[in-house]
């Protein structure tokens, strides 16, 4: 199953793969070079295909928990000053996605979307400390009946050149449901109330829509 954001790119990639290898078949005479071109183009095609996969996730919907919005590895757990929306101290949990991770963004909690904003910006590597404030990004806030307002931020990286965000103010968020996509590697920051009990630790691998990162 593939994400809808990938259909156009997958079609273009397939077309290029076929054209390259048709030319390779008829124009390249050296056997080792012919097979090398076939192998390299096939590997690149598979990498693009796997990037846009959208596996079904089984979210145990629970208003007493916050699930990871994306697949990846936890790279930051710290108290920070959230400067855009809350303008106070929050507990930040950041998940880094490599190009081989699933890149679907999912709602971490149920509730009402109270804020959604896109920011153009730079393309620093996603683990750079300033990427959360200076890179291209989107900020979404969901108001949950138990946690209050939870903010998550999609952040572009050095390779990610397009963020897709479906969340709009006034929407009803369903925990684990598709809320966007980030193309070709990046990270997502989640901002929780200070004192929230965490269920993850640094360098832990998480699955979007399934891994509980915090609970009451």
Q: Distances in Å between the alpha carbon of 129 and those of 8, 155, 162? A: 33, 12, 20
Q: Which residues face 187 on adjacent strands? A: 96, 155
Pairing, β 205-206 against β 72-82: antiparallel
Q: Which residues face 106 on adjacent strands? A: 178
The one catalytic residue in 65, 116, 132, 186 is 186
DSSP E strands, 35-183: 65-67, 72-82, 88-97, 104-106, 111-119, 137-144, 148-156, 162-165, 172-173, 178-183
Active site includes 179?
Answer: no
Please answer whether residues 106 and 67 qualify as being in contact, where contact means their C-beta atoms are separated by less than 8 angstroms: yes
First to last CA, the chain: 34
Instruction: List b or e across 123-142, with b for residues whose CB sees 16 or more CB atoms inside 10 angstroms.
Output: bbebebeebbeebbbbbbbb
Task: Give the residue numbers marked as catalytic.
Answer: 186
């Amino acid at each position: 199953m593939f994400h809808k954001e990938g259909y156009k790119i997958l079609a273009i990639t397939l077309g290029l793969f076929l054209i390259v290898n048709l030319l390779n078949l008829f124009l390249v005479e050296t056997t080792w070079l012919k097979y090398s071109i076939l192998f390299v183009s096939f590997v690149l095609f598979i990498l693009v295909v796997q990037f846009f996969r959208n596996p079904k996730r089984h979210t145990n919907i629970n208003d007493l928990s916050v699930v990871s919005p994306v697949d990846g590895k936890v790279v930051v757990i710290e108290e920070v000053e959230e400067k855009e929306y809350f303008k106070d101290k929050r507990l930040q949990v950041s998940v880094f996605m490599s190009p081989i991770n699933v890149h679907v963004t999912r709602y971490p909690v149920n509730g009402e979307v109270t804020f959604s904003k896109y920011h153009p910006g730079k393309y620093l590597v996603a683990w750079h400390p300033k990427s959360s404030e200076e890179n291209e990004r989107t900020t979404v806030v969901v108001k949950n009946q138990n946690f209050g307002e939870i903010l998550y931020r999609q952040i572009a990286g050095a390779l990610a050149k397009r963020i897709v965000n479906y969340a709009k103010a006034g929407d009803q968020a369903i925990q684990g449901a598709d809320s966007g996509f980030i193309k070709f590697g990046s990270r997502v920051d989640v901002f929780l109330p200070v004192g929230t009990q965490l269920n993850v630790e640094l360098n832990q691998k998480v699955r979007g829509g399934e891994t509980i990162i915090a609970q009451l």
